[in-house]
Amino acid sequence: MADPMPMTDAPITTVAPGWAIAALAILGVLVVAAAMLDGALAARAGGGPGTVGGLVRPFGEAARLMRQRRRTTVEADRLLWRIGGAGLLVTAALMVTVVPLGEWTIFDLDVGVMWFNAMDVMVWALVWLTGWGANSAHSLVGGYRFLAHGLGYELPLMFALVAPAIVAESLNVGAVAAAQEGLWFAVWMPVAFLVYLLGVAAFSVWGPFAPAIGTDVAGGARAELSGVDRLVFEAGRYALLAAGAAFAVPMFLGGGAGPLLPGWAWVLVKTVALLAVLVWLRRRLPAFRPDKFMEVGWMLLLPAVLLQDLVVAVVAVWRS
């Protein structure tokens, strides 16, 4: 949609490192909000305790897991196992460090887009380590399922991030947001935007990409996780979903541009709205078989997003 108040060219200000605590707090609030919404939707779909019961369900589940004793499998590689689970939260936190909150950011990197993409690739190793480290057949199958999904979504996701960078002529996230003068990139780069959202769901092991943690393999990569380990892994999935929604705002939704509210408020509003959509879609899309999705990724998504990049490049050259 056209933006009634284009974003100004105000420079991005790098804040003191101490503000990283505030960024983590915002990410934590988004994680809790996403979990509550997911709980409410699950209760409504399953005819459970009702919407209110669904909203508080994540807190009860968190308390139960914190009281639960940690299980350990025979000859498990505990270090790799726990690095894999806890690493999801760390990766999500590193993703949001390059997202401008209005005119402020923690890291104003010249290669911020590549930074996000590198963090997304790190998720491959973390989910696989969670499956490998448990020394369990079900966990290992789940880890390899995730890798198979990754082979289908990673290249399309990478080229989806290229499209906004072409127009902005920069890999700096703030520059990409500032380049959306009057028209969001999501409007005239719909293929890149949709492929990006699909990638966010994929690296969050969310919705159609849940076979990696499917019940048909006893929980897949998280099969042997229990107690705090399982709680951290689940929180990491929500955190990755929130980080992906936040990064979409400067890349495709105009950053902090908007009427009446300050830039930082618009970033939060757009992030919450997109995060709510991603959570809602969890039960609206069928699960993708890893082998079939690889075919879709390579035969459909990749050519489509490359064509989008070509169109964007032609438009960018024409405008210049």
Is pLDDT of 5 > 70? no
Asked, for residue 220, whether it belongs to a domain, the answer is yes
How much is the pLDDT for 261? 87
Report the domain count for the chain. Answer: 1
Predicted TM-score (pTM) of the model is 0.90
* Residue owning tokens 């399922």: 145
Q: Residue 18 to residues 21, 90, 105, 106, 107: CA-CA distances in angstroms?
A: 6, 17, 12, 9, 12
Could you write out the three-class secondary structure of 140-181? HHHHHHHHHHHHHHHHHHHHHHHHHHHHHCCCCHHHHHHCCC
Does 127 fall in a domain?
A: yes
**Would you state the pLDDT for residue 88?**
93
pLDDT tens digits along 71-83: 877 777 788 888 8
**pLDDT tens, residue by residue, 283-294:** 888 888 888 898
Mean pLDDT of 229-241: 92
User: Quick one: DSSP state of residue 211?
Assistant: G
In whole angstroms, give the CA distance from residue 213 to residue 314.
42
3, part of any domain:
no
pLDDT of 275 above 60: yes
**Do residues 250 and 174 make contact, with C-beta atoms less than 8 angstroms apart?**
yes
Mean pLDDT of the chain: 87
- What number of residues does the chain have? 320
In a domain, 4, yes or no: no
Domain range holding 267? 13-319
Whether residue 70 is contained in a domain is answered as yes
**pLDDT tens track for 20-53:** 898 899 999 999 999 999 888 888 877 666 667 7
Instruction: Please state, for a pLDDT cut of 90, what percent of the chain lies above it.
Output: 43
- Confidence at 255, pLDDT banded by 50, 70, 90: confident
Backbone phi, psi, residue 130, to 5°: -60, -40
